[in-house]
Structure 1
Amino acid sequence: MIYLDNAATTMKKPDCVVEAVARALTTMGNASRGAHSGSLAASRVDLACRQKAARLFGCWRPDHVCFASNSTEALNIALMGILNEGDHAISTDLEHNSVLRPLYRLQAERGLQVDFVPADRLGMIDYDDFERLIKPNTRLIVANHASNVTGNLVDVARIGKIAHEHDLIFVVDASQTAGCVPIDMQAMGIDVLCFTGHKGLYGPQGTGGLCVGKGVEIRPWKVGGTGVQSYSKAQPADYPTRLEAGTLNSHGLAGLSAAFDFVEDIGVTAISHHERILMQRFYEGVHNVDGVKVYGDITLEDGRERTAIVSINIRDYDSGAVSDALAEGYGIATRPGAHCAPRMHQALGTVDQGVVRFSFSYFNTAAEVDAAIAAVREIAG
């Protein structure tokens, strides 16, 4: 199989990640639940993973890295734990349902007011719209770092500056950028960074978390066992325990910790460069093919940064049919449809057809890209 669905999950993992998980399954107990070697081994892995995440993302303290099962859970924790009755939040049309559905739920349950910065036909936003949408009761801005449909990067540092000028909390969904685009929370003005382990970090599914900035208070989304302060009726107030009720996925975190090592050893810039070359090679091979339409703002000549995603349609063919043809006829894995990003597809005008998303990883090769180009040309012909 030629696997080009890395924006959903990176199926190919570094050997060190696989080995770390396998080793953890036979050597680790439950972190913070005892003083025996198995429990202590899990605690050490969890702490090391926090330290590596804080270093990679520029989080001010490792104990403010709180683990979750993925970005969706991390975003729910952040949004549900920050926004109050009658608050106003600002987001964008670029968002995944992991942002949209918590906001819609808060609209229904807490009377949250929400405005969305609109996207144009290229899936781009006007940053001045953030200023125009701010109200007296605005509490928070939440935005993704890159679209999972087009791959276009969002200037989060610019949004962070706007947010802090108005004393707002800035939450970033880094699902598509963690591990493959440089992130520095403090330099970019990010108050809460939500990430997942199974995409650009090359870690296991079921891992991720949120990095909480200085002075940010988040109410616990769930409460329960923590291994500490067992006689307290309330969830412990200190991070990270405040947001980590229940047994952690330490076996998965062992893999994520190894994945952080892999990313750090190769370098985020080197990973991004390799993926970008593959993305550009594919784009150059298909964008002029008769009947092929490419979505998003793929401006490559000026060195503009973006993630390694190219989304296309072929003539008026249903995106699901094209993706199925690629899988069955050519052994190429892609992702068709709406990509859990309904507002983006409304902006792009692709609600009915969807798009076929090709997304590349560090483990893909030029030969695989050329095979995908040939397949697209054959289907379009």
Structure 2
Amino acid sequence: MIYFDNAATSWPKPPGIAAAMARYLEEVGASPGRSGHRLAIAAARALFSAREAVAQLFHFDDPLRVVFATNATEALNLSLTGLLRPGDHVVTSSVEHNSMMRPLRALQKNGVEVTVVPCSREGVLDPNRLEFAISPRTRLIALTHASNVTGTLLPVAEAGQLAREHGALLLVDAAQSAGACPIDVTADGIDLLAFTGHKSLYGPTGTGGLLLGERVDPSQLQPLIRGGTGSHSEHEEQPEFLPDRYESGTPNAVGVAGLDAGVRWVLGRGVERIRTHEVALTRQLIEGLSAIPGVTLYGTRDAERQTATLSFTIAGKDPAEVSVRLDENFGILCRAGLHCAPAAHRTLGTFPQGTIRFSLGAFNTPEEVATAVAAVVEVAR
């Protein structure tokens, strides 16, 4: 079996992930921040360890500004609905995932102005077009770091510079890039970084979060939910301090223990090493698929300008049927369709039928890529 669906969820996980979660359940198991006994303290330390690991990965100094959530979708919703008010203006791109577009469209109905900057047919965003879209009322630039359809990287560092020049904040959806590409929130000018744990951070599902940069005033970012935090229990108002302001309810502590192990695995292996490996695999895959008659590739066709995600179609073949055949006949697991990103597919010209998506990870090999290319040759005949 060849697993090429890492853009949905990475698999397999490093061995230490399951062990870390089992260790938490067997040796800790308590609720963090709810009691003063030794196991509650151990649980709180486990969460703080994960905050430190995430902050280190993204080159950020304050672990308390790492807020945990169930996934990047929740983190994006917190950022967008918590920050934007009627009359505000937000600029985004035409290759966003529905986790960005759906909350933006809901906010648009309530008086937030949304400008979608068109990307090229390769999914490339021109920073000059981005700047042209900014107005005096622009409060936020909201961009994915990497397309989940083509892997194309967007110019987040340039966007960060533009945000500072125009008095706006930059929100980056790093669901596809965190752990796979180097990210420095300070150097890149990122104010809000949404990340998920179950993709290139190699943690379990149900984990992720939001990193709040120093330019973000928590008083201006309303919580998505409110409730018990274990702190300031004498008050019926939500705590104002971080991270409690945004972390109501008992957290997924066992999941965060797995996330901590995943992030530390990435740190130990090195993001640059992972990136080099995935670029080589992507280049091999681009070269192999490009040589097959009837196959059309989407994106830049440049491994250095994308993640290890690649979309393609085969002339005269339905993407869903191709995906099923690759699974049943060749043991290649991938994803076909619109990938929860209709805006991206409209940009590429692949709406509504979608594409076949191969998304590779740190555990894939050149031999698997060669086998997959040979399988596509057979399917395309």
Q: Determine if the TM-score, normalized by the shorter chain, exceeds 0.5.
A: yes
Contact 1:60/1:186, CA 8 A, preserved across alignment: no
Alignment of 1:124-273 (within 5 A): 124-217=124-217, 218-273=221-276
Written as runs of structure 1 = structure 2, the 5 A alignment for 1:18-167 is 18-27=18-27, 28-108=29-109, 110-167=110-167
- CA distance in 1 between counterparts of 2:340 and 2:105 reads 14
3-state DSSP of counterpart to 2:203: coil
Which residue type is aligned with residue 80 of structure 2? L
1:54 CA drift (Å): 0.7
Aligned partner of residue 167 in structure 1, secondary structure: coil
Q: Which runs of 5+ in 1 are unaligned?
A: none
Distance 1:60 1:77 in 2: 22
Distance 2:349 2:125 in 1: 16
- Matched-pair contact (CA < 8 Å) for 1:204–1:252: yes
Q: CA deviation at 1:18?
A: 1.0
Distance 2:371 2:215 in 1: 50
1:278 alignment counterpart: 281
Q: Deviations over 1:170-195 (max 9, x none)?
A: 00000011001000000000000000
- Structure 2: how far apart are the matches of 1:366 and 1:46? 37
Task: Quote the Cα distance in structure 2 between the aligned partners of 1:215 and 1:5.
Answer: 36
User: Is contact 2:283-2:302 (8 Å) kept?
Assistant: no
> Could you state the TM-score of these two structures normalised by the residue count of structure 2?
0.97
**Cα displacement string for residues 303-347 of structure 1 (whole angstroms, at most 9, x for unaligned residues):** x34200111101131111110110111111001000111111111
| 1:324 counterpart = 2:327 | no
Deviations along 1:218-250, whole A, 9 cap, x unmatched?
A: 211100010011121211000110110111111
SS of the residue aligned with 1:248?
A: coil
* Cα contact 1:60–1:214 (8 A) shared by 2: no
In 2: Cα distance, 1:273 partner to 1:346 partner: 31
Q: Secondary structure at the match of 1:231?
A: coil
Q: Kindly provide the CA deviation profile for residues 235-277 of structure 1, in whole angstroms up to 9, marking residues without a partner as x.
A: 1000110110111111001011111111011000001111111
The CA distance in 2 between the partners of 1:278 and 1:378, in whole Å, is 21
Q: Could you say what secondary structure the match of 1:186 adopts?
A: coil
Does the 8 A contact of 2:17 with 2:262 survive in 1? yes
SS in 2 for 1:24: helix
Structure 2 counterpart of 1:200, which letter?
Answer: S
Contact kept? 1:58, 1:183, Cα under 8 Å = yes
Aligned equivalents of 1:231, 1:366: Cα separation in 2: 59
Distance 2:326 2:61 in 1: 45
- Local SS of the residue matching 1:187: coil
State the partner residue of 1:335. 335
Quote the Cα distance in structure 2 between the aligned partners of 1:317 and 1:287.
17
Q: Whole-Å Cα distance in 2 between the matches of residues 78 and 366 of structure 1? A: 39
8 A Cα contact 2:125 2:155, kept in partner? no
Q: TM-score, normalised by structure 1?
A: 0.97
Between stretches 291-300 and 204-213, larger displacement belongs to 291-300
CA distance in 1, matches of 2:134, 2:264: 40
1: CA distance, partners of 2:236 / 2:33: 19
* Aligned residue type for 2:248: A
More moved, 305-314 vs 93-102:
305-314
Amino acid at match of 1:308: A
Q: Aligned with 2:337: secondary structure?
A: coil
| Structure 2 residue identity aligned to 1:66 | V
Contact 2:5-2:334 within 8 A present in 1 as well: yes
1:287-366 correspondence runs (5 A): 287-300=290-303, 304-366=304-366
1:272, 1:127 → 2: CA distance? 24
Percentage of matched positions with identical amino acids: 46
For 2:41 and 2:187, locate their aligned partners in 1 and report how far apart those are by CA, in whole Å.
35
What's the secondary structure of 1:293's corresponding residue?
Answer: strand
Q: Deviations over 1:3-50 (max 9, x none)?
A: 000011002000111100111122221000111222111101100100
Contact 2:171–2:191 under 8 Å retained in 1: yes
SS in 1 for 2:236: coil
- For the residue of structure 1 that corresponds to 2:335, the secondary structure is coil
Q: Deviations over 1:106-155 (max 9, x none)?
A: 112x3111001102211112211122111221110000111111111111
CA distance in 1, matches of 2:74, 2:180: 21
Distance 1:310 1:353 in 2: 16
Q: Distance in 2 between matches of 1:136 and 1:367?
A: 53
Task: Determine helix, strand or coil for the equivalent of 2:16.
Answer: helix
Q: Distance in 2 between matches of 1:344 and 1:65?
A: 29
**Conserved 8 A contact 2:229-2:244:** yes
- Give, as a single letter, the amino acid of the residue that structure 1 aligns with 2:320: G
Q: Structure 1: which 4+ aligned runs deviate by more than 3 Å?
A: none
Q: CA RMSD in A?
A: 1.0
